[in-house]
Amino acid sequence: MDDQIIENIGCLLLPNAGPLKGEAMKELPVRHQAALAVKGEQVVWTGSTEEAQTRKAHQRFNAEGKVVSPGLVDPHTHLVFGGSREEELALKQAGTAYLDILKRGGGILSTVRATRQADEQFLFEKARSFAGRMAAYGVTTLEAKSGYGLDEETELKQLSVIDRLNNEGLLDIAATFLGPHAIPPEFKGREDVFLDQMIDLLPVMKGKTSAAFTDIFCETGVFTTEQAARFMEASQRHGFQVKIHADEIDPLGGTELAVQYGAVSADHLVAASAEGIQQLAASDTMAVLLPGTTFYLGKDTYADARRMIQAGAAVALATDFNPGSCVTHNLQMIMALAALKMKMTPEEIWNAVTVNASHAIGMEKTAGRITVGGQADLVLWDIPNYKYLPYHYGVNHARAVWKRGRLIWERREADVFPIS
Ligand SMILES: N=CN[C@@H](CCC(=O)O)C(=O)O
Ligand SMILES: [Zn+2]
């Protein structure tokens, strides 16, 4: 006897095993008139709606001909932070650049002050509320970074919040230590001393948190490629896999560096060089693109997803949810931006927020695909076909979300106005 059967699925999305590189991103296997069965935390069967009639289950869920996908994976977020930065919007409107706000002690540093002041329970409740909203938008697995502490106590506080949230089990969360996210004002002119301190924290983070990844913001006025290389090398020596905020604003060569160090992902890549993209394509490093950030910063040039895919690279998409450069937890909005601004196809986009996103955070064994025996992380979408999602943008199309077989969010019946 199954616990649950979801039947009358118009289109069941069954991404191939990844990482999907280049041309392989264009393939998105689907099954029409499908059904699936869940027992405990696992998918135990997939087949046709007709075949499902012969199976018995405690509960049956009628998908009414709509779309079911794997739970979405958001592989780059800054989920845990104190305060908010709505005051900076006026500065941005007046033309002040993101890095100039940071140079004046605002931006990331403003969030650092608020996060240092906040107590852990407050941060936990705030992050949990954001995580819940992400789940309501179809996300069942995500990555979350520290990086608003820049000191031992606060970085540990953020990572402790991430670990507690992960242990609560609503969502699976991969933790990343992003100590070198900005230079604290007291270290101005002594950037290498600060970096050394962050390197000294690596064994502490390894011992006291579940962080499997480190990350660094390699950018003009923040950390140079030489400093990023030093941090990545030290991180690997302490058993971390590395990630990098690379070539977001200026083309410093962070993409090439990511490849050189075998980074699990290189993120942003708006200013990646043609050579960097070629190297990426020949590597195992996932390109994590964040079009919501480009949109929010009001830039015209987006990461060149077309060139990356054509070259043969593997691409994933993420929100970059943070209080300054992309203030949204809505991964569906990012899927729309990927279509509208980066010309990614619907098939590429779905692969980028499921199977490829899971590879970007080392969660490919449990997340990003629907397989018999695999974890039952599922989303029922109130859309007539999968191409519809990036087309109708800015709204929540999720109707029901399951994590490990448990229904964790469902749209109230009164909220559902069918669109087809
Ligand atoms: N670019 C660096 N870090 C974040 C922004 C963090 C912030 O502005 O608070 C990003 O990925 O966009
Ligand atoms: Zn980021």
pLDDT in tens, the chain (420 residues): 999 999 999 999 999 999 999 999 999 999 999 999 999 999 999 999 999 999 999 999 999 999 999 999 999 999 999 999 999 999 999 999 999 999 999 999 999 999 999 999 999 999 999 999 999 999 999 999 999 999 999 999 999 999 999 999 999 999 999 999 999 999 999 999 999 999 999 999 999 999 999 999 999 999 999 999 999 999 999 999 999 999 999 999 999 999 999 999 999 999 999 999 999 999 999 999 999 999 999 999 999 999 999 999 999 999 999 999 999 999 999 999 999 999 999 999 999 999 999 999 999 999 999 999 999 999 999 999 999 999 999 999 999 999 999 999 999 865 656 555
Determine the pLDDT at residue 417. Answer: 60
Q: Which ligand is nearest to the CA of 243?
A: 2
Residue 293 Cβ < 6 Å to ligand 1: yes
DSSP 8-state code for residue 414: G
> Measured in whole angstroms, how far is the alpha carbon of residue 128 from the centre of its chain?
16
Determine the pLDDT at residue 419. Answer: 56
Pick the closest to residue 147 from 214, 229, 234 (CA basis).
214
Pick the closest to residue 178 from 253, 276, 108, 255 (CA basis).
108
| Residue 172 phi, psi (nearest 5) | -90, 130
Q: Which ligand is nearest to the CA of 145?
A: 2
Determine the pLDDT at residue 416. Answer: 57
What residue type is 153 in one-letter code? E
Spell out the alpha helix ranges (H) of 104-224: 108-117, 120-136, 152-168, 191-200, 202-208
Contact (CB, 8 A) for 343 and 306: yes
Q: How far is the CA of 318 from the centre of ligand 2 (A)?
A: 9
* Cα distance between residue 38 and residue 44, in whole Å: 5
Residue 146 Cβ < 6 Å to ligand 1: no
Determine the pLDDT at residue 87. Answer: 94
Q: How far is the CA of 325 from the centre of ligand 1 (A)?
A: 6
Residue 145 Cβ < 6 Å to ligand 1: no
- Quick check: helix, strand or coil at residue 268? strand
Q: Which ligand is nearest to the CA of 76?
A: 2
Pocket residue to mutate for ligand 1, from 245, 290, 334, most atoms within 8 A of Cβ: 245
- Sheet (strand 241-246) strand order: 72-74, 139-145, 172-177, 213-214, 241-246, 265-268, 286-289, 315-317
Pocket residue to mutate for ligand 1, from 81, 100, 108, most atoms within 8 A of Cβ: 108
This prediction has a pTM of: 0.97
ipTM of the complex model: 0.96
Determine the pLDDT at residue 365. Answer: 97
Determine the pLDDT at residue 412. Answer: 81
| Residue 176 phi, psi (nearest 5) | -130, 130
Residue 78 Cβ < 6 Å to ligand 1: yes
Domains in the chain with CATH codes: 2-70+369-415 (2.30.40.10), 73-360 (3.20.20.140)
Q: How far is the CA of 77 from the centre of ligand 1 (A)?
A: 9
> Locate tokens 């030093």: which residue?
230
Give one DSSP letter per residue of 216-237, joined into a string: -BBSTTSB-HHHHHHHHHHHHH
Residue 247 Cβ < 6 Å to ligand 1: no
Q: How far is the CA of 74 from the centre of ligand 2 (A)?
A: 12
